[in-house]
Amino acid sequence: MFVTPAYAQAAGGAGGAFASFVPLILIFAIMYFLLIRPQQKKVKQHQKMVEALRRGDQVVTAGGLIGKVSKVKDDGEIEVELADGVRVRVVKATISQVISKTEPAAS
């Protein structure tokens, strides 16, 4: 009348072990396409934006400061002019948005 745990475990077999991993695989696939992949795309876009910074671009920093890029340095920093005569050094990665871009000079 009652099924012992030993019979219940033996009934699953090798197919039952794989079937128990299918939901985990599906959850990982859904997480990848809904969370991981869009985040990687956003990071790539941010890196591309930061690499394209030039003198004269108006930017917003992560701290909310708005200013114009006055100098682009090679060591991962830029110099941003917040007001007349007020210049600060900012790490390039902390630039959150480019408000207006300058046009490239005609050669």
Residue-by-residue pLDDT tens, the chain, 107 positions: 565 665 555 555 566 778 888 999 999 999 999 999 999 999 999 999 999 999 999 999 999 999 999 999 888 899 999 999 999 999 999 999 999 887 765 55
Residue 68 within a domain:
yes
Domain assignment present for residue 64? The answer is yes
Same domain, 14 and 37: yes
- pLDDT confidence of residue 4: 62
Range of the domain at 47: 1-51
6 and 46 inside one domain: yes
5/42 same-domain check: yes
Pairing type for strands 77-83 and 58-61 reads unpaired
Q: Are residues 2 and 47 in the same domain?
A: yes
State residue 24's pLDDT score.
92
The model carries a pTM of 0.69
pLDDT of residue 96: 93
Reference 45, options 99, 97, 89, 104; nearest CA is: 97
Q: Is residue 4 part of a domain?
A: yes
Same domain, 3 and 16: yes
DSSP assignment of 26-40 = HHHHHHIIIIIHHHH
Q: Which residues pair with 97 in a beta bridge?
A: 60
Query: Do 80 and 70 meet the contact criterion of CB atoms below 8 Å apart?
Result: yes
Burial class (CB in 10 A: 0-12, 13-18, 19+), 25: exposed
For residue 102, the model assigns a pLDDT of: 77
Does 63 lie in the same domain as 45? no
Q: Terminus-to-terminus CA distance in the chain, angstroms?
A: 91
pLDDT of residue 10: 54
Q: Are residues 45 and 60 in the same domain?
A: no
